[in-house]
Amino acid sequence: MKRALFLGMIAVAGSLVGAVAFIAGQTKVPPEAIQSSVIRAPELIEAAWKLPVAATFGTGVTWQTNGSRCGPASIANAFRSVGEEETTEAEVLDGTGMCWTGYCIMGLTLDELAGLAQKKTERKVAILRDLTVDEFREHMKRANDPDRRYIVNFTREKIFGAGAGHHSPIGGYLEAEDMVFVLDVNENYRPWLVETERLFSAMNTFDGDSKRGLLLIE
């Protein structure tokens, strides 16, 4: 019994060490890169917040509580925007057994995030991966449809020059500028606009053996 308890304590400690290491890896992007790598022109951001889907978020995002919980935070924000009951990280994770230490060790994969979302909604949840850039752009156009919510899984390295994998909701698409409005759930980044092909490049990557992509809730 004592040996089992001891091994359990070691496992928890190892998990927390892994979580701390993961979170440390999330903070490597210099502040100047965060500000200069994406579009934050006030007039464009203001226009983006007026898009049909972005407006349902109430011109604000509830930030993730730590560097590993971008996935649950993204689901919570998307659910809030469509009137679901579970609108906080804690409510999204409650009863799932996921991230039970308070951290999502090494973050959640796109498949894990889809499973988590489906447990908490009767809406259809689908994973979209292996898209071409043209298919991705068509989905971004449909991101302005109030009946749809997209969450994008991408690597920050492709956009900011450093950083790891991340999840955030899509607020919509500015077609004339060919830019996507990413409602970043990390408070250090905050929502930003980026050229469609740059976001596609960051999404069209691997998370371990799994391809990143889009999560669609409709």
State pLDDT tens for residues 190-205.
Answer: 999 999 999 999 999 9
Percent of the chain with pLDDT over 70: 88
pTM: 0.88
Can you give the chain as a three-state secondary structure string?
CHHHHHHHHHHHHHHHHHHHHHHHHCCCCCHHHHHHCCECCHHHHHHHHCCCCHHHHCCCCCCCCCCCCHHHHHHHHHHHHHCCCCCCHHHHHCCCCCCCCCCCCCCCCHHHHHHHHHHCCCCCEEEEECCCHHHHHHHHHHCCCCCCEEEEEEECHHHHCCCCEEEEEEEEEECCCCEEEECCCCCCCCCEEEEHHHHHHHHCCEECCEECEEEEEC
Q: Is the model more confident about 93 or about 16?
A: 93
pLDDT band at 209 (very low <50, low <70, confident <90, very high): very high
* Per-residue model confidence (pLDDT) at position 60: 87
For the cut 60, the answer to whether the pLDDT of residue 6 exceeds it is no
The domain 2-217 belongs to what CATH superfamily? Phytochelatin synthase, N-terminal domain (3.90.70.30)
pLDDT, tens only, 56-99: 999 789 999 999 999 999 999 999 999 999 999 999 999 999 99
* Per-residue model confidence (pLDDT) at position 148: 98
For the cut 90, the answer to whether the pLDDT of residue 139 exceeds it is yes
Q: Is the model more confident about 31 or about 9?
A: 31
For the cut 70, the answer to whether the pLDDT of residue 53 exceeds it is yes
